[in-house]
Structure 1
């Protein structure tokens, strides 16, 4: 561990203006990002007597090897730059509200010929109307299924729609009256669009109007003794009322607010947010985060709002009110930032009394329950993961903690289309953003050991290049323009795992030795008996079959194999497809690229009809016939 005094900048060199700072570890990785009204005051607090520091702060400053800062013009700019750096570097000592899914919305694609209703996540698209957010996604899918009884708009994909238009037969939803089937002309384009607009109006808060309208039609049908029609309308009214029951009114109908609350202990915090739109709870969301950063509740709330609303499309999701349990740090500047994202005023406040305060208490109770449930489930997982890493380190005799493990696998068929994969595990968990794929050609593809030597050499050459190109770690001021740096291979692993036995281990060690790298440990995991091979050892290490350390190695190896075989299949299919298309008369590079982009694989191309081929830009009837004749040849083995 580094001594903080070894990289402490002189106090007189640190400006007293607002700014953002970041601590780096010896490998140059950003491990903490913070902002300050006065950089000198804040940074000086990190270099006091270590015994006076909070344990988490103590660990951070002793892990770091340098500190650097950027001066900005105002506290608002500091807030924005801090968020930018946290999103870019995901520092391990910052609280990061990670979630594996984006918000689910009910979306209606009004820009299409036949608008489609669907549950959609991710970035917003042009000419699409969104309603929500809803959470969990199951709730909005059930709601949509109910609404299709009254508003039977199209929900099928483009491929299903195209196939129905070609065959003249609707899909299953068309047969069970959950789709008006515009694909086969049961309803005109204009009438279907009007149906989609009515669905949008209902979801936009005009549900009472539609229910009353259906109730009048039901009464008229009953008066005219059209009892079957009246019964159908009665069922439609009940369906719409069920949708309303799932989204009960809790506040005034004009209320649009996000209500946050959290529960915490010394190590973790559980956050809950209720999304209220048109007075109804449209969705609920929750996170549990590790409190690796020493922060006050006010600072915690500020970081939470930064990360929830800081995405590029966050302004579309911002309501008029954001209600929090405690006033966040720099609340005035944070409110200005939220208003700038939304393009209109945002009220950021703590409700003290009334219905909103009551609902906030409900959100807080949910957060407390989520924290209790998480701790009961997670306690064993954290213990098991830590024990597995410690057990593996001791079994292999490695003197450093296994903070980062990289595993490599080679995949090919009889020496053709040779590829390799690199998967990464940090702190016992996969880090998929660092996964890499390699294509291997030439002499390196002659056998597995040559391929392994090639892959390890290429990966660690990049590591050495990044190290050489990076400036030495010196504490001090940096320019804001430097925030876009990317050094994807700059962080070395503690352990390299190769799929194979002594030959593959020897090839990997030779590649590292030729590059002059002697501080990366290498092992191999042989599939047949699950033996662990160390360099230059005559006999393998046999880990207990039921041990967590062996289970960890197996998971890493299997993930590398899955990643490699997926890439190999895609490459093999593409190369076979290209070889077939090369012999098609009149098919130039542009049209071949268009076919590859449209179908993507040989299997999909073989199953394509003449009409499907004609739908590709630039492909006419004669060329489509040539392609079909080429595909009619016997399939490759």
Structure 2
């Protein structure tokens, strides 16, 4: 006789419901104090500490809204997350610490987890892939960076943090106040060539004091880093007191520019809580040129015997359509060497002819170097495409010199033309090698345009 099939999973569902009811009943009796306290929590940013029956801290968390975040643990939805349900079963008490801002809450959470080591934060403590804020204290101008691979020496670490995006937002928010660098440039204050280095966008928007351009002394920069450390260590009140005193002294000494900068720092610190959600402050990508990484990249990409030490860039500019000028810029170890910059008035070309102009400039430059017994550059970079590259190579053959490694960079698609290769190279826009070549190409263009404007102004006055 046939029987209707009985679902084999039905008893399991009934058992699960029965156990869930028992767990809810137990949890209600144990965590009633915690539930009641959560209802009294403020709606401001801060940190909450969940405790067991003997007062041991089980878990530390942060919140933009303490009441809302802590209440979420005692909802029906939380029961379906195994880890959360395990935590809630142990909770008997809960406390909170208010902070002035979400940044403060993020930092306080990291400090408490590190000091208390709560069992339900254990995976955060052990997992090395969680993000840290790292200050490279041994550098002349210490950089501050986000990292998942903290160094064991020469750095000061803060973290680990639970949210990578919020940490990035915090770094951006703090950079607007303390104006530290986040790049990996190896800056030497004694090397005057850094005075000619072009800072990235962060200097223009006043989020960095541009130590790469030596716009700030090592002592002044380190003072800003010390202030950042005070804030990160939770000594915000002490920091505010020091800044107010320093502003007062600067005003008395008639150092009004310094006093104004400190005033702006104070205002930003005091208004930090008004900055909104940290995730809204994640810094958009800012491209900067790292000379050493750029040189190493060029060596690898073009299979050079060593990183190029001297690179020269050539560009052409036209004056009112009837006169052509050219520029040559020189970079040593990836940095501009202004004493090596040259300007040329094209003499042997009538009208506008970029190829002929390139031939003349390359011929004059390399002939002079050969005559004076000087070495050729490791790389000669020509602004333009395959036509400009071939023009430069023709000039070298015409004067009978062994050409240095010569390439051209076309601006439209940032394509690199290499002798003997049918197709241009296309590097990632993130490539340090490409960024360095772009920097040299753009500097040659700027210098050519500057010479162009000088001659035009001179011609105007002579009329």
Q: TM-score range by the shorter chain?
A: 0.3 to 0.5
User: TM-score, with normalisation over the residues of structure 1?
Assistant: 0.28
Over alpha carbons, which structure has the higher Rg? 2
